[in-house]
Chain A
Amino acid sequence: MSYINKGDRPTRAGFGEGLLEAGRKNPDIYAIGADITSSVGANLFAGEFPERFISLGIAEQNCAGVAAGLALMNKIPVFTTYAVFSAIRAADQIRISICYNNLHALIGGAHAGISVGPDGATHQALEDVAVMRSLPHMTVLSPCDATQANLLTQKALLELNGPVYIRFGREAVPDFTSPDDYTEIGKAQIMREGNDLTIIATGHMVWEALQSAELLAQKGIEAKVINIHTIKPIDKEAILQAAAETGLLFTVEEHQITGGLGGAVAEVVAEQGGARVHRIGIPDSFGESGTPDELLEKFNLKAHRFSPIIESEYHEFLRAGRK
């Protein structure tokens, strides 16, 4: 199966559509505004359901607590702001008020990753997955495109029961999946088959991974590509199967290589598998200002930048007789 870009769209738009749709289906869904309602995509919901939109201003810690209070009264709150402020600034409030109470609340992390661009390091959430992933009860979602963001937002609100974190980006990126693709929270998606190595990606990097697989194919290397849209609970089975089949795994993410997707995959493989894992992402550093493209280039998060890394690692792997 090969994927075609239906046209660039930001994943936050998909989140906004999913929130609106879920709001139409369930009258208990409430959205909380933290003064950046439109840029996180919650304006659609706020417009259609003004009575279920609660403006709380620039007060993220309070927002997380109010979400907990709403959930304790059987509402389904959605608190979304930039990921640096929802997942990181309000981490203690999410930990105690939401997770320790095991409440069904959706926390949106907007503008996640390095591709936020010119706003610079303060606004580039590169640790949100690590923080959210370590919280008990929390489910962590990272959709690969707008279509999937829409789908997962609805599933998180209408099917799950517990705290959920969903991260999405700012930039318009290829929208290539179909709403009809089999999508289940907790299940990895095999986007492409290949026997030589596996690229495991999340978020915006799934498209890049598919491009990379094409570039590698031109060199005679067949890469399997896996989309991990659910970073927690992670699909161990899919990872272990890829480890057994190809022996060499690459993770690609717009996040620190510690604690995020790379960390999660390495944990699974170290405990139960026997493959080599090479993590591609932000190498324990802060971001900086630049255009999204410049930054993705700089941090080797474009297909044409990380493909050569994969290629040379692959040859090294063969030379070492690991295969």
Chain B
Amino acid sequence: MTKITDSRLLLELSYNIRALIVKMLSTAGSGHTGGSLGLADVFTALYFNELNHNPQKPLWPDRDRVILSIGHVAPVLYATLAEAGYFDKSELFTLRKIGSRLQGHPGRDTGLPGIETSSGSLGQGLSIAVGMAIAAKKDNSGIRIFSIHGDGELQEGQIWEAAMAAAHHKLDNITAVVDVNGLQIDGPTTKVMNLEPLGLKWEAFGWNVIGCNGHDFSDILRAFREAREFRGKPSVILASTVMGKGVKSIENNHGWHGRVPSSTEAVEFLCQIDESYRIELSKSELSK
């Protein structure tokens, strides 16, 4: 797929994806809005710039792999895949419906193009990435593995088992991305179970740690580039994000982790998304 480098184009895509997320979740009637919106920019940068993939050939053996460890943000994955051309956008509106390939949490058995693994039980994705990365190294292949995590998810012990294994086996073909929104279901991560000092933890586990603003495309692309160029250790990108980003009225509100807008709220949210897009666009014009 041709890589998009123009931040304004990426911005437009990410806000299209946000609008799709709101529409599909509101149609579904249940699901996870906050985390999905917060990750829209990271997913856009990943699928429209960083990733080596081909939506027309989803099973191309040499593709990079994306492991969504936090299955609850499936809407951002589905919307991004549809926007990238893996399947028709109309299918997004079958989310969570009986017979749909868009399961509430990704199910690989549905055969939805672009789904590399089933997920939904938190904490498992990094281990899968480790297995894939070992296999890629054994095959002398240049395939890279991206695994996407939540900050709350990092409370699972298995993550740290996998982190240790990735460093031990020098899996520099892994880039883990953590959605650092500081929130989880019960509230702020600092209250539920503090993760700080998070960067030092990853460093102590033998990882190359990269920070970035998860809503600034040039910064996200820089982080991906640093991870790509780093040798000898796996890289983790700690992406600072805002849960619900793009819909001002729900930003940073953990109550929206697993809530969806009603149809009237959805109209309101779409207006807010439009407005946020204009603001972000003018900011990026200014900074040029």
Given contacts A68-B117, A96-B118, contact A56 B132 (CB under 8 A): no
Query: Interface of A with B (CB < 8 Å)?
Result: 51-52, 54, 56-57, 59, 61-75, 77, 92-93, 95-97, 100-102
**B130 adjacent to A65 (CB under 8 Å):** yes
Report the separation of the CA atoms of residues A63 and B131 in the bound assembly, to the nearest whole angstrom.
9
Report the separation of the CA atoms of residues A62 and B158 in the bound assembly, to the nearest whole angstrom.
6
- CB of B129 within 8 Å of the partner chain: yes
- CB of B252 within 8 Å of the partner chain: no
Q: List 28 A-B contacts (CB under 8 A).
A: A51-B138, A59-B161, A61-B158, A62-B127, A62-B162, A63-B127, A65-B127, A65-B128, A65-B131, A65-B158, A68-B124, A69-B127, A69-B128, A69-B132, A69-B134, A70-B132, A72-B116, A72-B132, A73-B131, A73-B135, A75-B135, A93-B127, A93-B158, A96-B121, A97-B117, A100-B107, A101-B108, A101-B117
Tell me the dominant secondary structure on chain A's binding face: helix
Which of B117, B119, B120, B158 sits near A72, CB closer than 8 Å? B117
Which of A56, A68, A95, A97 sits near B165, CB closer than 8 Å? A56
Contacts A66-B134, A73-B135 supplied; 12 other A-B pairs, CB < 8 Å: A51-B138, A62-B158, A63-B127, A66-B130, A66-B131, A69-B133, A70-B134, A71-B131, A72-B117, A74-B135, A93-B121, A96-B121
What's the nearest-Cβ distance from chain A to residue B91, in Å?
21
What's the nearest-Cβ distance from chain B to residue A26, in Å?
14
- CB of B29 within 8 Å of the partner chain: no
- CB of B285 within 8 Å of the partner chain: no
Report the separation of the CA atoms of residues A30 and B162 in the bound assembly, to the nearest whole angstrom.
18
Report the separation of the CA atoms of residues A93 and B169 in the bound assembly, to the nearest whole angstrom.
21
- CB of B126 within 8 Å of the partner chain: yes
Report the separation of the CA atoms of residues A200 and B65 in the bound assembly, to the nearest whole angstrom.
47
Q: Which residues on the B side are within 8 Å of A63 (C-beta)?
A: 127
- CB of B109 within 8 Å of the partner chain: yes
- CB of B136 within 8 Å of the partner chain: yes
Q: Which residues on the B side are within 8 Å of A59 (C-beta)?
A: 158, 161-162, 164-165
**B129 adjacent to A102 (CB under 8 Å):** no
Report the separation of the CA atoms of residues A101 and B125 in the bound assembly, to the nearest whole angstrom.
13
Report the separation of the CA atoms of residues A102 and B157 in the bound assembly, to the nearest whole angstrom.
24
Q: Which residues on the A side are within 8 Å of B119 (C-beta)?
A: 96
Report the separation of the CA atoms of residues A74 and B168 in the bound assembly, to the nearest whole angstrom.
23
For A61, A62, A74, which residue has the most chain B Cβ atoms within 10 angstroms? Answer: A62
Q: Which residues on the B side are within 8 Å of A52 (C-beta)?
A: 138
Residue count of chain B within 8 Å CB distance of chain A: 34
Given contacts A62-B165, A100-B108, contact A77 B118 (CB under 8 A): no
Query: Interface of B with A (CB < 8 Å)?
Result: 65, 107-109, 116-121, 123-136, 138-139, 157-158, 161-162, 164-165, 168-169
What's the nearest-Cβ distance from chain B to residue A115, in Å?
30
**B131 adjacent to A61 (CB under 8 Å):** no
**A93 adjacent to B124 (CB under 8 Å):** yes
Residue of B nearest to A58 (CB): B161
Which of A65, A74, A102 sits near B124, CB closer than 8 Å? A65
**B130 adjacent to A62 (CB under 8 Å):** yes
Nearest 6 CB-CB pairings of A with B: A69-B131, A65-B127, A73-B135, A62-B161, A59-B161, A66-B131
Q: Which residues on the A side are within 8 Å of B128 (C-beta)?
A: 65-66, 68-69, 72, 97
Which of A64, A71, A101, A102 sits near B127, CB closer than 8 Å? A64
**B165 adjacent to A69 (CB under 8 Å):** no
Q: Which residues on the A side are within 8 Å of B129 (C-beta)?
A: 69
Q: Which residues on the B side are within 8 Å of A51 (C-beta)?
A: 138
What's the nearest-Cβ distance from chain A to residue B223, in Å?
23
Report the separation of the CA atoms of residues A70 and B138 in the bound assembly, to the nearest whole angstrom.
10
For B124, B131, B136, which residue has the most chain A Cβ atoms within 10 angstroms? Answer: B131
What's the nearest-Cβ distance from chain A to residue B163, in Å?
9
For B65, B116, B125, B127, which residue has the most chain A Cβ atoms within 10 angstroms? Answer: B127
Report the separation of the CA atoms of residues A114 and B250 in the bound assembly, to the nearest whole angstrom.
55
What's the nearest-Cβ distance from chain B to residue A201, in Å?
35
**B120 adjacent to A65 (CB under 8 Å):** no
What's the nearest-Cβ distance from chain B to residue A48, in Å?
16
**B135 adjacent to A70 (CB under 8 Å):** yes
Report the separation of the CA atoms of residues A71 and B132 in the bound assembly, to the nearest whole angstrom.
8
Residue of A nearest to B157 (CB): A61
Residue of A nearest to B123 (CB): A61
Q: Which residues on the A side are within 8 Å of B118 (C-beta)?
A: 96-97, 100-101
Residue of A nearest to B128 (CB): A69
Residue of B nearest to A99 (CB): B118
Report the separation of the CA atoms of residues A276 and B109 in the bound assembly, to the nearest whole angstrom.
39
Residue of A nearest to B107 (CB): A100
Report the separation of the CA atoms of residues A156 and B16 in the bound assembly, to the nearest whole angstrom.
48
Report the separation of the CA atoms of residues A77 and B135 in the bound assembly, to the nearest whole angstrom.
10
What's the nearest-Cβ distance from chain A to residue B212, in Å?
25
**A77 adjacent to B158 (CB under 8 Å):** no
**B135 adjacent to A69 (CB under 8 Å):** yes
What's the nearest-Cβ distance from chain A to residue B77, in Å?
16
Residue of B nearest to A66 (CB): B131
Q: Which residues on the B side are within 8 Å of A97 (C-beta)?
A: 117-118, 124, 127-128
Report the separation of the CA atoms of residues A225 and B162 in the bound assembly, to the nearest whole angstrom.
46
Which of B117, B135, B161 sits near A61, CB closer than 8 Å? B161
Report the separation of the CA atoms of residues A62 and B116 in the bound assembly, to the nearest whole angstrom.
18
Q: Which residues on the A side are within 8 Å of B139 (C-beta)?
A: 73
**B127 adjacent to A96 (CB under 8 Å):** no
Residue of B nearest to A92 (CB): B121
Q: Which residues on the B side are within 8 Å of A56 (C-beta)?
A: 161, 165
Report the separation of the CA atoms of residues A57 and B166 in the bound assembly, to the nearest whole angstrom.
12
